[in-house]
Structure 1
């Protein structure tokens, strides 16, 4: 495994170097030394824009003398407090500088600090897919598995509800029974997903929380999906994030993300994007009000929600392959597979948790 543990001590006079590329913005570089546990000889640079010029000296001065154990929020606060009121930071922020500092100290990591694995789609029961999200996040947090991107596949029609959603409020029992739908609760928050074989693209990222150290909860969504935006752009789709967790184009929403952070340092980030959804069936299975329906770009006269199929003209498999290729090119990821032990553990958790009425109805 290639995760970098946090350093607790630093040799005086050793020059430390950290970089952070702001999603959709500029590169921030920090070079500094640590003497007696304090920052010294701090130099912030990058291809960003900053007015007035002298504000760069203020940023350096704000960091100089701070304790090397200072957390990212306090680093950003110190920089903001030192900057003149008329300072303009374009393409970066005080928070971005804080991330670069943390990376210089090896308390935060970048994509290139890890060996990434990619698990291509394999058909599994939806309950097993949900259980694997918990199992693999724990494995990455414990250092027993490389950070991993996994694409889901399934056959049975399913609804996957968020960890905090009410079954009663989200799911229509008559529609579920009529269409033979499996209802499952996942460990992350967010909204319900209606999933039939081939109707959407779902993937999960399992990563150490050091990758998002210093990045705000809100900003971490776009940061972790920057490779997806590049893949969609390659396919002719200009997509963007709508805070907090929606992925959209100028024609409307195409997907949404959710996250869960575990106590052992592992983190789950997963996304579902619409490929070709039967909207009539969806509204029979889910209790979707007019407000939420309009947000999904659906109207009663429309039979399908098909942004990825319509906007690319490509098969679902071709889009997934393009996504895998971009991820592998960007981060040097290699193809992997689920181990027998991971599948066995997921099966056990289906029996003890994800397949139980107690878990499903924990929020009635």
Structure 2
């Protein structure tokens, strides 16, 4: 591995870290760290650069951070970034990761569709991005009926009360990503998917990629007056409570791609949710709350805005940061998705693969 490399890492909720460096004989050289962060004293920047000189090019972010922390002058203050975020930027440089602004994004927001079709569209569109036949895509969902979406590895009988689902006309489907069960209703939920090339999260750990791909929506919520933050591993929270949960699936075919989808509660019916979902005491215990109804705080109450306006503002915020043109699911993609929806995602075998 020889040559010159450039890497960037936007710290979730923080500042941008930029690294330019060379690699010679397997070690870092000519390292130059920059960004819109704050750092005192001035000479601390030279200390960071020197700490990275000569580091083996395959050193992970934590190892690089340890070198930086050992070299910082006493009393140094890093604001808006950390030593480890510099390490992440270095890893992204060496891995030749891409950036959000390297792509011509497509934004899809179409009419209501059945739950099984949404599951299938996620699989098809992410596969198309991996194959290079589709640009990176932000897709905002609309639901045509109430649904529970369980994670790929969840037990159906442990998560869903069949009597409650039948009583409220709730369709139960299983998605291809891991994570927990989500309760969705038309008009009460905001769900979106990011289908992105694997290179966008290159150099990031699995956990770091969640925060990285959630950062834009935190900014969008901030523009609406909501102080939101990423809560590891896959929640978005505010002072009033959790408002969203995320899940991911990696596609290794082609050049690789990542599906990152998020369900946000706009105006959840908490009474109905607890009748449909079997939310156990163990699950609640690590959330610091005794009531399932208190776990999710709807966006309607926090923003005071109509759901459609919240979505419009989210999309506008995304465009302001990364651009994006209006797009649609192609006829070929839709045909493949419908086939998957009517087969795999509607089959009892898939739904009960973890009984």
TM bracket, shorter-chain basis: 0.7 to 0.9
Match of 1:3 in 2: none
TM-score for both structures, normalised by structure 2: 0.87
Match of 1:252 in 2: 241
Match of 1:354 in 2: 345
Say whether 1:43 aligns with 2:29.
no
Q: 2:203 aligns with which of 192, 211, 214?
A: 214
Aligned equivalents of 1:269, 1:172: Cα separation in 2:
27
CA displacement, residues 20-39 of structure 1 (integer Å, 9 cap, x when unaligned) = 22122233222323445653
Match of 2:276 in 1: 285
TM-score for both structures, normalised by structure 1: 0.85
Match of 1:169 in 2: 158
Match of 1:77 in 2: 63
Please report how far the alpha carbon of residue 98 of structure 1 lies from its aligned counterpart in structure 2 after TM superposition.
3.3
Aligned equivalents of 1:276, 1:83: Cα separation in 2:
45
Gaps of 5+ in 1: 1-7
Please report how far the alpha carbon of residue 133 of structure 1 lies from its aligned counterpart in structure 2 after TM superposition.
0.9
Aligned to 1:84, what secondary structure does the other structure show? helix
Aligned to 2:60, what secondary structure does the other structure show? helix
Match of 2:122 in 1: 133
Say whether 1:332 aligns with 2:318.
no
Deviates more, 1:15-24 or 1:289-298: 289-298
Aligned equivalents of 2:133, 2:153: Cα separation in 1:
29
Gaps of 5+ in 2: none
Structure-to-structure mapping, 1:118-267, within 5 angstroms: 118-264=107-253, 265-267=256-258
Is contact 1:77–1:94 with CA below 8 Å preserved after alignment? no
Aligned to 1:187, what secondary structure does the other structure show? coil
Please report how far the alpha carbon of residue 95 of structure 1 lies from its aligned counterpart in structure 2 after TM superposition.
3.5
Please report how far the alpha carbon of residue 136 of structure 1 lies from its aligned counterpart in structure 2 after TM superposition.
1.1
Please report how far the alpha carbon of residue 94 of structure 1 lies from its aligned counterpart in structure 2 after TM superposition.
3.8
Please report how far the alpha carbon of residue 58 of structure 1 lies from its aligned counterpart in structure 2 after TM superposition.
4.6
Deviates more, 1:277-286 or 1:124-133: 277-286
Aligned equivalents of 2:290, 2:135: Cα separation in 1:
39
CA displacement, residues 45-76 of structure 1 (integer Å, 9 cap, x when unaligned) = 33445567665445434433456xx34x5354
Deviates more, 1:208-217 or 1:327-336: 208-217
Structure-to-structure mapping, 1:27-66, within 5 angstroms: 27-35=16-24, 38-49=27-38, 56-66=45-55
Please report how far the alpha carbon of residue 220 of structure 1 lies from its aligned counterpart in structure 2 after TM superposition.
2.2
Match of 2:260 in 1: 269
Say whether 1:309 aligns with 2:300.
yes
Please report how far the alpha carbon of residue 315 of structure 1 lies from its aligned counterpart in structure 2 after TM superposition.
1.5
Aligned to 1:225, what secondary structure does the other structure show? helix
Say whether 1:18 aligns with 2:4.
no
Aligned to 1:277, what secondary structure does the other structure show? coil
Is contact 2:198–2:257 with CA below 8 Å preserved after alignment? yes
CA displacement, residues 104-163 of structure 1 (integer Å, 9 cap, x when unaligned) = 457111111111111014211110101111111111112111111001111122111011
Match of 1:345 in 2: 336
Please report how far the alpha carbon of residue 222 of structure 1 lies from its aligned counterpart in structure 2 after TM superposition.
2.3
Deviates more, 1:202-211 or 1:213-222: 213-222
Is contact 1:297–1:305 with CA below 8 Å preserved after alignment? no
Match of 1:5 in 2: none
Please report how far the alpha carbon of residue 361 of structure 1 lies from its aligned counterpart in structure 2 after TM superposition.
0.5
